[in-house]
């Protein structure tokens, strides 16, 4: 059994965030597919990893973790000498990277996740999109992306001049939204658009997409 085990489905945005990090770090790991339709994430064996019954669940030897962003931070620290470094500069730069990780979690994700659900996932499940929710959240996302546009006019990536977790954490929702009408919000902002091109071109992200395809 591999020391690192990631439980989930690669289609989940939270799981894809962790998968991308593992691929960026070039780590060996076992992917344990969780059948959510069968309610496997609510069964005792999985609840011993994540008591909230949500994917991802993560194990590294005796260590059990949940919450995707806490897992990616652990991987980046524990395996600092492997693969992508995810950092540049001094402690002040690290603090700025930290700010943009919080921005992703508290400004971008709540809005992007609602749009992902309404525009990308509901249609897949044959559910009707709520246009009022879409309108409200597209307006909110536009405001968030205006801030990103000014930031990215000064810095190639959000936290600093190199790719870090602050950028990586955005990938799964951005990927879903690029397949929807919300794509226009990214395309219409030149610096945001160049940043989206740079982060979605990462080989680690292609590996996540390949795993999604493989799982059907």
Ligand X SMILES: N[C@@H](CCC(=O)N[C@@H](CS)C(=O)NCC(=O)O)C(=O)O
The minimum distance between CB 55 and ligand X, in angstroms, equals 4
12 belongs to the binding site for ligand X (CB under 6 A): yes
Residue 20 sits in the site that holds ligand X (CB under 6 A) = no
Binding mask 29-48 for ligand X (x = CB under 6 A): ------------x-------
Of the residues 4, 6, 19, 55, which one makes contact with ligand X according to CB under 6 A: 55
- Binding status of residue 14 toward ligand X by CB under 6 A: yes
Nearer to ligand X, 48 or 150 (CB): 48
Cβ-count burial 83-121 (b if 16+ within 10 Å, e if not): bbebbeeeeebeebbeebbebbeebbbebbbbbbbbbbe
CA 98, CA 62: separation in Å to the nearest integer?
27
Task: Restricting to residues 61-120, name those near ligand X by CB under 6 A.
Answer: 67-69
136 is a contact residue toward ligand X (CB under 6 A) = no
* Alpha carbons 36 and 79: distance in angstroms, whole number: 30
Rounded Cα gap, residues 80 and 165, in angstroms: 13
Nearest CA among 19, 21, 23 for reference residue 11: 19
Residue from 20, 21, 54, 84 that binds ligand X (CB under 6 A)?
54
Q: How far is CA 79 from CA 47, 154, 170, in A?
A: 26, 30, 21
The minimum distance between CB 113 and ligand X, in angstroms, equals 8
Residues near ligand X, by CB under 6 A = 12-14, 41, 53-56, 67-69
């Amino acid at each position: 059994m591999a020391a690192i085990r990631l439980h989930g489905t690669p289609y989940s945005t939270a799981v894809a965030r962790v998968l991308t990090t593992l691929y960026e770090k070039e780590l060996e790991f076992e992917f344990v597919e969780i059948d959510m339709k069968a309610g496997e994430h609510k069964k005792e064996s999985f609840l011993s990893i994540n008591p909230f019954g949500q994917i991802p669940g993560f194990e590294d030897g005796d260590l059990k973790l949940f919450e995707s962003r806490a897992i990616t931070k652990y991987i980046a620290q524990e395996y600092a000498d492997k693969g992508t470094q995810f950092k540049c500069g001094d402690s002040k730069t690290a603090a700025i990277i930290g700010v943009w990780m919080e921005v992703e979690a508290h400004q971008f994700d709540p809005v992007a996740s609602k749009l992902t659900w309404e525009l990308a996932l509901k249609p897949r499940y044959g559910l009707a999109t709520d246009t009022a929710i879409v309108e409200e959240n597209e307006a909110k996302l536009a405001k968030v992306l205006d801030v990103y546009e000014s930031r990215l006019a000064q810095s190639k990536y959000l936290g600093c001049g190199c790719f870090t977790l602050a950028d990586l954490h955005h990938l799964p929702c951005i990927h879903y939204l690029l397949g929807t009408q919300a794509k226009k919000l990214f395309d219409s902002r030149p610096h945001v658009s160049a940043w989206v091109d740079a982060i979605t071109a990462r080989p680690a992200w292609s590996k996540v997409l390949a795993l999604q395809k493989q799982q059907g």
